[in-house]
Structure 1
């Protein structure tokens, strides 16, 4: 076979260089995939693959008109990719300039999840009892960068104290949404799109409409604390879960955010709270 013959003709040094070249290419591709993961670029890439598959089908079936359209789309695709992926490309260049493109970090995922859930539950409990209005949106697969840019950047660790302080009335950052990205508070005072659904109850205010609006265009989880009643609500995938108890809120947040089933378990925060009250 020509492939095997070409390999056999290589010197040991050339073989090592070629293997290193292939491994470096795969490593760069892997890092690029990790950069676009969690952004809208993932969905756009799926669309590109659909166009490529449609092009192959049109060629196989000799569909000339559709084939011409697909070919024109592919011809202009490179320019379209630069325009569509502009935020992701800019972020990649920024990370490269800061030397973070090839950095990596490890953490105890289970303990980190428990810490995040505990911080969210404690802050929501505090604000619900005192009727402090709150709106928190948590990024999942679909990126929220365009909404983060509308607010004040923070890039802070998630703590219950900070979450509560951000929503204290008459403070500079209390109006708008807090957005969580990659387990950190990315920004506060962000603007979210309002839902235009005609089926929303008229008794729901701007916070609930914004929570539904972001859930209709992304897969984000959004937490709402009503300023009027102190009721706790949660939206995800276009669904609104209203008037949740703290226990139900924690269960749903764990299940939707991390895919954990916690119906028959209690968190460390609930154990701490029970011991304190006892």
Structure 2
């Protein structure tokens, strides 16, 4: 009570700024580890903290001693376990990317879009079926675990090779997380929407299905017609042209894309192509 009684307006402003800065840092750290294995490790650490709190509350001597021993070496263990994430955070901080977007981000994303467009155009011309899923705010680790881990940079050559018929990885979806191809030959949930056109096959239904359970967007290449389609928000734009596809990728996935809670529903936005 004495603290609040002696609190001046200058102290209030200083405390508010202090809290806002810490909140901002924690928010970006959460964004940094989201969708990585660090999330599961953090859950494990939280579970250990809960056990320690219970052992302290009920004065369970042996369990409390064991928890204290674990926490004694815990700081060192955290540095070892989270080494990849810490290195990535320091690299981004050095590039000025941790708390904001840089021109390098936009250039890198532009190259990735170019590789994706090059691959889907190649597959489309030869009527080679393909399904590429892009993770956004909702994590897709459940589905990447059903496929073959790749963790590679995005290149047109790799995407084309994955979908070449009669190769081990061609059947299933490629999932892109962040700026990498996370996995191939992934199994996705099929949409059960009864209003989907009968012309659409398994790939299109899988693309729509994954967009119904989260906010992922997908590019589909039909092996029957070679048409390129885009699935998002439980809807599909069939035979989308290249200009509209590039525009949509920048809008939904680019460095300046809006968070999910600020995006208007897909069907309320102007689109290229036809709904189906």
User: Shorter-chain TM-score category?
Assistant: 0.5 to 0.7
2: CA distance, partners of 1:124 / 1:169: 15
Q: Please, what TM-score do these two structures have when normalized by structure 1?
A: 0.62
Could you list the runs of 5+ residues in structure 1 that have no partner in the other structure? 8-21, 43-77, 80-92, 264-278
Q: Distance in 1 between matches of 2:139 and 2:78?
A: 17
User: Structure 2 regions of 5+ residues with no counterpart?
Assistant: 8-18, 40-49, 52-76, 96-101, 258-269, 271-276
* CA offset digits 1:146-179 (Å, max 9, x no partner): 0000000000000011111110000000000000
CA gap of 1:30–1:203, structure 2 versus 1, over 3 A, is closer
Partner residue, 1:132 = 128
2:27 equivalent to 1:2: no
- CA distance in 1 between counterparts of 2:189 and 2:84 reads 31
1:55-70 → structure 2 map (5 Å cutoff): none
Q: TM-score, normalised by structure 2?
A: 0.63
How far off is 1:5 after superposition? 9.7
Alignment of 1:29-44 (within 5 A): 29-30=26-27, 33-35=30-32, 37=34
Whole-Å Cα distance in 2 between the matches of residues 242 and 157 of structure 1?
Answer: 27
Q: Note the alpha carbon deviations across 1:228-261, whole angstroms, 9 max, x for none.
A: 100000011112000112222222222222257x
Give me the CA root mean square deviation. 3.3
**What residue is the counterpart of 1:16 in the other structure?**
none
1:97 to 81, 85, 101: 81
In structure 2, C-alpha distance between the alignment counterparts of 1:142 and 1:127, rounded to whole Å: 28
2:198 is the counterpart of 1:202: yes
Residue 161 (structure 1) aligned to one of 151, 157, 161: 157
- Structure 1 Cα separation of the partners of residues 220 and 197 of structure 2: 15
2: CA distance between counterparts of 1:31 and 1:113?
20
Q: Name the SS for the 2:86 alignment partner.
A: coil
TM superposition shift of 1:183: 1.1
Q: What is the count of residue pairs matched by the alignment?
A: 197
Is the counterpart of residue 118 in structure 1 residue 122 in structure 2? no
Q: 2:183 aligns with which of 184, 187, 197?
A: 187
